[in-house]
Amino acid sequence: MGQGEGAPEPGYEREESAAARLDRNWNELLQEIRVLQTGSQILAGFLVVLPFQDRFEDLDVVQTGWYLGLLLLALVIVALLLTPVGMHRRLFRQRVKDEMVLVANALLRAAILLLGLLLSGVAAFVVDVVVTRPAALATGAALLLVMLVLLVLVPRRVARRARG
């Protein structure tokens, strides 16, 4: 396994068996999923009920399309975060935890990046409805930049600094 997937880095070895490492990696992934699931499910729920609000009928064609894209993105994120749990239930005791850890890691990474995109999109959508479209585009772009820095560049910098 590569970096970030459970393989110990030089100088950071643990006294644990391969099975114990997989168990630890799996439990760490599940903890991260728990943190993300609550927020993403609440946001998806908010988006699901939005059409039932009186003001929803006032949306223009762009806003309606934007909303539908955000709703689908939110539901895909929820599905990505539920997949490792369903996978674990389906593959329980089949001795494939190493593969489950690899797949769950990839799914979680995708969900985190998509969640950053969703948050930027929701901010732009709300600003578009409440203020103006140009303000919405600026807000969405600014938040997307913040998400890029926090979710991509900061982890890369930490990894680079750790390698020396």
In the prediction, which pLDDT does 6 show? 53
- Report the distance separating Cα 29 and Cα 6, nearest Å: 11
52 class by beta-carbon count within 10 Å (0-12 exposed, 13-18 middle, 19+ buried) = exposed
Per residue in 90-123, pLDDT tens?
888 888 888 988 999 999 999 999 999 999 999 9
Banded model confidence at residue 15, pLDDT cuts 50, 70, 90:
confident
pTM: 0.80
Q: Is a pLDDT exceeding 80 seen at residue 9?
A: no
Strands (E), the chain: none
pLDDT tens digits, residue range 144-161? 999 999 999 999 999 999
Q: Which of 7-16, 82-91, 121-130 has the lowest mean pLDDT?
A: 7-16
Per-residue pLDDT, 40: 87
Dump pLDDT digits (tens) for 38-66.
888 888 888 888 888 888 889 999 999 99
Give residue for tokens 């890369």: 156
Mean per-residue pLDDT of the chain: 87
Kindly indicate the confidence band of residue 12, based on its pLDDT and cuts at 50, 70 and 90.
Answer: low
CA-CA distance, 160 to 164, in Å (whole number)? 7
User: What whole-number distance in Å separates Cα of residue 126 and Cα of residue 43?
Assistant: 13
